[in-house]
Each structure stands twice: as structure tokens, then as C-alpha cells.
Amino acid sequence: MLRRIPDGAGFLDHSHVALGFATMLLSLTYAYSCSRGGRWRLYFPWASGQLRIVGRDLAGLIRGRIPAAEGGGLFALIEGVLLLALLATALTGGAWFLAQGSSEALTWRGWHVLAARVLVATVLLHVVTVSLHLLDFVRD
């Protein structure tokens, strides 16, 4: 699947493409939902110049305090990065699919692999932050 879907592609290859397009549709819909009505400021505080809350959360984390889940702080920033990584993975996969058979296919594949690795790393970071929320919930 470097330049195009091979003629003898199996179930996993075809399901990867189908699930990729379904994920693209879902990620675009979710990104729209998260950014409506100014809510994009919660997930992307760096884009609106509101990094003060993230800085406060980082300082609190150094002191052993778990950041709040609400308010557009560090955890919301991580969710925003996760959303961007998901979008990047889906869109580069779609571009790779559309470019199949051309010389750009390998370039899009490289970007897709990079985006997928960033997505995996941010999913792991998200799991850690969710675990911290659960730990905080159990303490209370």
C-alpha cells in the first residue's frame, strides 16, 4: 500500500481504508462541534492567546496538584492537540488515498505515518490525564 492499494489487498487493507474515511467524517464532525460558539478557545488556548491558564496548571502540576478538567487549561489543551492529531491523521490518509498511483503518494504516506505516531502519543497522554481525573475523583 505504498503507492496504491494492491490488487490482492486483503480484508485488513480495505477495512483500514474504510475505517479511515469513517474516522475522517467523524473527526470533522467532532471538530466542528468542539469549535462552535467560541468553544474552540477551550481546546486551543494557544490560538486565542490564553495560555495563562495552561501555565497555572503546569505550575500546579509541579507542586503536585492535578489540574482541573474544566476551564480550558492543560487537560483541555491536550484534548485539542489530540483532536488536531486525529484530524491530521485522517486528512493525510485521505490525501494519500486520493494521490494513489502518483508520485505524491509516498509523500502523503510519510505525513500519514508521522500523524499516526503523533496521534498514538497523544492518545497515551490523554489516557494518563484521564487516569489522573479518576484518581482525583476517587480521592474525593
Instruction: Tell me the per-residue pLDDT of 115-129, one tens digit each, with 9 for 90 and over.
Output: 999 999 999 999 998
Cβ proximity of 130 and 138 under 8 Å:
no
Give the mean model confidence (pLDDT) for residues 40-55: 83
Residue, of 11 and 139, whose pLDDT is higher: 11
Q: What is the pLDDT of residue 3?
A: 61
State the pTM of this model: 0.85
Q: What is the pLDDT of residue 88?
A: 97
43: in domain: no
Domain that residue 127 falls in: 11-37+77-139
19: in domain: yes
Q: What is the pLDDT of residue 83?
A: 95
Q: Which range (1-5, 34-38, 92-96) has the least confidence?
A: 1-5
17: in domain: yes
Q: What is the pLDDT of residue 124?
A: 97
DSSP summary character for residue 65: P
Total domains in the fold of the chain: 1
- The DSSP code sequence of 4-21 is S--TT--HHHHHHHHHHH
140 has a pLDDT exceeding 70: no
89 has a pLDDT exceeding 80: yes
d(CA 118, CA 110): 13
119: in domain: yes
Q: What is the pLDDT of residue 4?
A: 67
63: in domain: no
Supply angle C-alpha 45, 139, 73, rounded to 5.
5
Name the pLDDT band for 7 (thresholds 50, 70, 90): confident
